[in-house]
C-alpha cells in the first residue's frame, strides 16, 4: 500500500495527521506544519559549504516533506546568540517543532530556550544543558562492527586512533567498545589524539607495528600511512565514512538519523506535547559498513 501511494506521488498531510491524532485524544489541534532546524554554531555561509551539515539538513527536509511538513533553517548566530529571541521569531512564524543541528564541540551547551513552548529533538550526540529527545549514531556498536570485520580479515594486532574531542562528543562510545571488545592490551593500542601530536602518534605507530588500523577520520589514517602503515585495503577502516572516502568504514547514516529526529518531533506535535519528556527518548543507530569509493591508496 505504501509503495502504491509513493508511486502515485502521495504525501501525508500534516494537518490531517494532527487532526486524527487529536480527535483520538480529544485534544485541541496545534498548528505545526513548519518545522525549524536550528544551527547552534557557525553561520549560514559555512553551513552551505559543509558537506556533513548538508547531509543532515537534506535528510531532515526530505523526511519532513513525506510527513506533510516543511523544514526551515535558522542560525543562532544571526540573532547574536540570543536563543530567547530566536524562539520568539519561530513562535511568530507559527513554528512549534524544532530540531537542533549537530555541533562540533565536546562541551555541554548552555541554551536559554523556552522548552515548554516547543516540541524538540537533537540530531546527533551534542550535550545541551537539558535533555531533549535525540536521534544519534551508536558509536559503541559501530566500533564493534569494525572490530568484527578486521578479525574476520585476519587482523590480530590492530590499533585505533580517535580524536579526543570527537570521542568525548560520542560519550566515549568508541573508546569503550575498543577497550571491551578490542585486542590484547587494548588500552596501549588506542591513541586518543590531540592536535599537535602528529610526531608522537607516528612514533607510536612505528613502535607497535600494527597489522590493522582503525581511525575516526581519514586524516588520522593518512598520518598512519606517513608513519609507514601500508596495510591491505581490508585492514584499514574509518569510523566516519562518506561518499568520497578512500577507505572502507562505517557510514554513520546521518540523513537517516535526521529523519528519525523529525519523527521524534512530529510525534510530539501530533500528541500535542510540548516541553521536555521525562525520560527523554534516545534513538541510536549503528550505521552501515561501506567500501571505499575513491581509489589511489
Average pLDDT taken over every residue of the chain: 89
24 pLDDT more than 50: no
Beta strands in the chain (DSSP E): 34-39, 70-75, 97-100, 119-123, 134-137, 158-163, 190-193, 212-215, 236-238, 248-251, 282-285, 288-290
Rounded CA gap, 132 and 141, in Å? 23
Asked if residue 295 is part of any domain, the answer here is: no
On whether both 133 and 277 belong to a single domain, the answer is: yes
On whether both 133 and 152 belong to a single domain, the answer is: no
Task: Of 186-200, 224-238, 257-271, give the lowest mean pLDDT range.
Answer: 224-238
Q: What is the per-residue pLDDT across 105-153, written as a single tens digit (0 to 9) for each?
A: 768 899 999 999 999 999 999 999 999 999 999 999 999 999 999 999 9
On whether both 225 and 204 belong to a single domain, the answer is: yes
Q: Look at residue 29 in the predicted model and tell me its pLDDT.
A: 44
On whether both 113 and 222 belong to a single domain, the answer is: no
Question: What single-letter DSSP state applies at residue 183?
Answer: -
Which candidate, 187, 23, 178, 41, places its Cα nearest to that of 107? 41
Asked if residue 294 is part of any domain, the answer here is: no
Q: Look at residue 23 in the predicted model and tell me its pLDDT.
A: 47
On whether both 51 and 103 belong to a single domain, the answer is: yes
Q: Look at residue 12 in the predicted model and tell me its pLDDT.
A: 60
> 28: domain CATH number?
3.40.50.2300
Task: Of 8-17, 212-221, 280-289, give the lowest mean pLDDT range.
Answer: 8-17
Rounded CA gap, 216 and 175, in Å? 11
243 pLDDT more than 80: yes
On whether both 159 and 72 belong to a single domain, the answer is: no
Asked if residue 292 is part of any domain, the answer here is: no
Beta strands in 186-232 (DSSP E): 190-193, 212-215
Rounded CA gap, 34 and 80, in Å? 23
204 pLDDT more than 60: yes
Asked if residue 105 is part of any domain, the answer here is: yes
Structural domain of 36: 2-137+253-287
What's the number of domains the chain is made of? 2
On whether both 148 and 185 belong to a single domain, the answer is: yes
Q: Look at residue 32 in the predicted model and tell me its pLDDT.
A: 40
On whether both 110 and 197 belong to a single domain, the answer is: no
Q: Look at residue 228 in the predicted model and tell me its pLDDT.
A: 83
Q: What is the per-residue pLDDT across 67-85, written as a single tens digit (0 to 9) for each?
A: 999 999 999 999 999 999 9
Q: Look at residue 230 in the predicted model and tell me its pLDDT.
A: 78
Percent of the chain at pLDDT > 70 equals 87
On whether both 235 and 268 belong to a single domain, the answer is: no
Higher pLDDT pick, 154 / 32: 154
Amino acid at each position: 500500500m505504501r509503495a502504491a501511494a509513493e508511486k502515485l506521488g502521495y504525501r501525508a498531510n500534516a494537518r490531517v495527521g494532527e487532526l486524527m491524532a487529536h480527535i483520538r485524544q480529544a485534544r485541541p489541534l496545534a498548528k505545526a506544519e513548519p518545522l525549524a532546524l536550528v544551527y547552534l554554531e557557525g553561520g549560514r555561509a559555512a553551513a552551505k559549504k559543509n558537506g556533513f551539515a548538508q547531509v543532515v539538513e537534506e535528510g531532515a527536509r526530505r523526511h519532513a516533506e513525506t510527513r506533510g511538513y516543511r523544514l526551515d533553517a535558522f542560525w543562532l548566530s544571526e540573532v547574536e546568540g540570543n536563543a530567547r529571541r530566536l524562539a520568539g521569531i519561530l513562535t511568530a512564524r507559527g513554528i512549534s517543532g524544532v530540531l537542533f543541528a549537530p555541533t562540533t564541540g565536546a562541551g555541554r551547551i548552555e541554551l536559554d530556550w523556552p522548552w515548554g513552548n516547543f516540541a524538540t529533538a537533537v540530531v546527533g550526540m551534542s550535550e545541551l544543558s537539558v535533555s531533549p529527545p535525540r536521534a544519534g549514531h551508536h558509536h559503541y556498536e559501530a566500533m564493534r562492527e569494525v572490530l568484527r570485520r578486521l578479525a574476520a580479515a585476519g587482523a590480530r594486532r590492530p590499533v585505533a586512533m580517535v580524536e579526543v574531542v570527537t570521542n568525548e562528543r560520542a560519550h566515549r562510545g568508541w573508546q569503550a567498545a575498543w577497550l571491551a571488545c578490542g585486542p590484547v592490551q587494548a588500552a596501549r593500542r588506542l591513541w586518543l589524539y590531540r592536535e599537535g601530536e602528529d610526531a608522537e602518534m607516528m612514533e607510536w605507530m612505528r613502535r607497535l607495528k600494527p597489522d590493522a588500523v582503525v581511525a575516526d577520520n581519514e586524516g588520522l589514517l593518512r598520518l598512519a600511512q606517513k608513519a609507514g602503515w601500508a596495510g591491505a585495503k581490508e585492514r584499514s577502516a574509518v569510523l566516519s565514512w562518506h561518499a568520497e572516502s578512500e577507505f572502507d568504514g562505517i557510514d554513520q547514516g546521518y540523513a537517516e538519523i535526521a529523519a528519525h529526529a523529525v519523527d521524534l518531533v512530529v510525534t510530539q506535535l501530533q500528541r500535542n506535547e510540548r516541553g521536555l519528556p521525562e525520560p527523554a527518548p534516545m534513538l541510536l543507530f549503528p550505521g552501515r559498513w561501506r567500501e571505499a569509493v575513491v581509489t589511489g591508496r
